[in-house]
Chains A and B, each alone.
Chain A
Amino acid sequence: MNQSQELVGALQTIPWFQELAPALFEKIAAISTLAAYEAGQELFREGDRESNLYIVLEGRVAIEMYIPGQGRVRIYTAEMLDVVGWSSVTPIVRQRTASARAVLPSLLVKIDTIKLNQLCQEDHDLGYVVMKRMANVIASRLLTTRLQMLDMFAHPGDKEAKNV
């Protein structure tokens, strides 16, 4: 199987690709590639202007942020069918706000977002589908982030001691 057949096959395992009309599917397939990463290999770093959208097919990719004095803090891991690097699709964000690194050997679909954004501009139907999808991804991340922020497993610590 050549690379493009392999790619098409991989894309067809992704639910939201399955929902695309064939013409739209082909447009995206044309700007996508398959990328394999070894454990520990970086996809991109905080501050990069790298512009790709990744979808995890196998493995695990960690999203990390660097805190001076604490090192890299892992704040999220993308598993199979998760999206990484959605910020390059959104209009405002100019550079990566976090780093991405493969934790396990991983296989990802990599979509060139400069070309994707152009396609969306030219074809608003495609644009609508892509943006709808990205909105879902961001919503889900926001909820997860909020739950993490609530720190629900924290000890109340030095609060007034009670009979518990």
Chain B
Amino acid sequence: MTTRTMELSAAIIPNKPMQPFWAVIDEIQSEAPSVSTFWLRFLDPGLQAGFRFQPGQFNMLLVPGVGESAISISSSAEDNKRVGHTIRFVGNVTTAISRLKVGDVLGVRGPFGTSWPIEKHVGQDIMIAAGGIGLPPLRTVIYHIINHRSDYGRVVVLYGARTPQDLQFTREYKEWEKAGIEVVVTVDRADDKWEGPVGVVPLLFYRLRMDPRKTVIFSCGPEIMLRFVVFEALARRISSDRIYISMERNMKCGQGFCGHCQMGPYFVCKDGPVFTYAQLEPYFNVEDI
């Protein structure tokens, strides 16, 4: 299990772990039905300038009086002017967030969790397999790759959503392709205006040729999709310590204190959310673990 070092520029006070820092909503971008990116800027300019996170980490966003929600950071780790959080509106807290306007304030604690180890795999081919709301935490990796493109070999983004209307960040795909990233997008179903593939992400995987010795997989999405991506990856002889998946569980404290996010012996907030399949293997296929 990786240990994180807490940097002073994080929005965390080590001896007051539940105290938030205030950030103002700078901009709200609609991405898809019920999904928007909230761009937050810390009220303390020093904190904003110094705030550092790794791709794959998340913040706990607080609406005072309503509660907190764990939201992955979806902006570039090299942007220190503001922090982007792509949120799907599904419950009490996220619905409350959806009603906020530019200029309103949220409490932020973070960043928490393990990250996609992109710097460890310099020189390798990177396969990014995302589904639905799983794309935002991987977008941080895509930005890192674009900023360091020559550090990596072949880079493919496989992305699946329910219908063409649910695809996120569509205006960015051209830029990613211009940076030398293959972008393959599929939907579960479409009408005849959609000219792209119709199918599921594991199927896209199945169709790709890849060299298992050079390839690393980063995947995020519904657990059932992860199951099949892992299945396809293992069938391609990619070793389980080169398959990275991001897990999701109920989170309250974000720091391994409250117990909610446990999956087997792991605290998903602290030992994850990014795990290698090698770490998860004894527990992944236990139903209702």
**Partner-B contacts on A (CB < 8 A):** 60, 62-64, 71-77, 79-81, 101, 103-104, 140, 143-144, 147-148, 150-156, 161-164
Q: Is B169 an interface residue, CB under 8 A from the partner?
A: no
The stretch of B74-82, B148-156, B186-194 that contacts the partner chain:
B186-194
Q: Is B202 an interface residue, CB under 8 A from the partner?
A: yes
Say yes or no: A151 contacts B162, CB within 8 Å.
Answer: yes
Q: Chain A residues with Cβ under 8 A from B207's Cβ?
A: 79-81
Interface residues of B, count at CB 8 A: 39
Q: What's the nearest-Cβ distance from chain B to residue A21, in Å?
A: 26
Say yes or no: B91 contacts A150, CB within 8 Å.
Answer: no
Say yes or no: A76 contacts B198, CB within 8 Å.
Answer: yes
Quick one: which of B94, B162, B206 contacts A153, CB cutoff 8 A?
Answer: B162
Known contacts A147-B224, A163-B67, A77 near B197 by CB under 8 Å: yes
Say yes or no: A79 contacts B92, CB within 8 Å.
Answer: no
Say yes or no: A71 contacts B191, CB within 8 Å.
Answer: yes
Q: What's the nearest-Cβ distance from chain A to residue B191, in Å?
A: 6
Q: What's the nearest-Cβ distance from chain B to residue A107, in Å?
A: 17
Say yes or no: B191 contacts A152, CB within 8 Å.
Answer: no
Give the CA-CA distance A6 to B270 in the complex, in Å. 59
Which residue of A62, A104, A164 has the most chain B CB atoms within 10 A of its CB atom?
A164
Q: What's the nearest-Cβ distance from chain B to residue A86, in Å?
A: 16
Quick one: which of B94, B202, B221 contacts A164, CB cutoff 8 A?
Answer: B94
Q: Chain B residues with Cβ under 8 A from A152's Cβ?
A: 131-132, 221-222, 224-225
Q: Is B199 an interface residue, CB under 8 A from the partner?
A: yes
Q: Chain B residues with Cβ under 8 A from A79's Cβ?
A: 197, 207
Q: Is B50 an interface residue, CB under 8 A from the partner?
A: no
Known contacts A147-B228, A164-B93, A60 near B197 by CB under 8 Å: yes
Chain B contact surface mostly: mixed
Give the CA-CA distance A155 to B189 in the complex, in Å. 16
Which residue of B198, B207, B222, B224 has the most chain A CB atoms within 10 A of its CB atom?
B198
Quick one: which of B160, B166, B194, B206 contacts A74, CB cutoff 8 A?
Answer: B194
Q: Is B40 an interface residue, CB under 8 A from the partner?
A: no
Q: 7 pairs across A/B with beta carbons < 8 Å?
A: A62-B198, A75-B189, A77-B196, A81-B207, A152-B132, A152-B221, A155-B34
Q: Chain A residues with Cβ under 8 A from B196's Cβ?
A: 77
Say yes or no: A147 contacts B202, CB within 8 Å.
Answer: yes
Known contacts A151-B162, A162-B91, A164-B92, A104 near B200 by CB under 8 Å: no
Known contacts A79-B197, A148-B200, A153-B166, A74 near B191 by CB under 8 Å: yes
Q: Chain B residues with Cβ under 8 A from A144's Cβ?
A: 199-200, 203
Give the CA-CA distance A56 to B136 in the complex, in Å. 33
Q: What's the nearest-Cβ distance from chain A to residue B30, in Å?
A: 15
A-B residue pairs, 8 tightest by C-beta: A164-B91, A153-B132, A153-B162, A152-B222, A74-B190, A147-B200, A77-B198, A162-B91
Q: What's the nearest-Cβ distance from chain A to residue B259, in Å?
A: 16
| CB-CB nearest in chain B for A72 | B192
Q: What's the nearest-Cβ distance from chain B to residue A99, in Å?
A: 10
Quick one: which of A80, A143, A153, A164 contacts B161, CB cutoff 8 A?
Answer: A153
Q: What's the nearest-Cβ distance from chain A to residue B208, in Å?
A: 11
Besides the contacts A76-B198, A150-B224, A164-B93, what 17 more A-B pairs have beta carbons closer than 8 Å?
Answer: A60-B195, A74-B194, A77-B197, A77-B199, A103-B195, A104-B195, A143-B228, A144-B200, A147-B200, A148-B189, A152-B224, A152-B225, A153-B162, A153-B166, A153-B188, A154-B162, A163-B69
Quick one: which of A77, A103, A155 contacts B90, CB cutoff 8 A?
Answer: A155
Q: Chain A residues with Cβ under 8 A from B194's Cβ?
A: 74
Q: Is B95 an interface residue, CB under 8 A from the partner?
A: yes
Give the CA-CA distance A51 to B92 in the complex, in Å. 54
| CB-CB nearest in chain B for A70 | B191
Q: What's the nearest-Cβ distance from chain B to residue A61, in Å?
A: 11
Q: Chain B residues with Cβ under 8 A from A154's Cβ?
A: 162
Q: Chain B residues with Cβ under 8 A from A71's Cβ?
A: 191-192
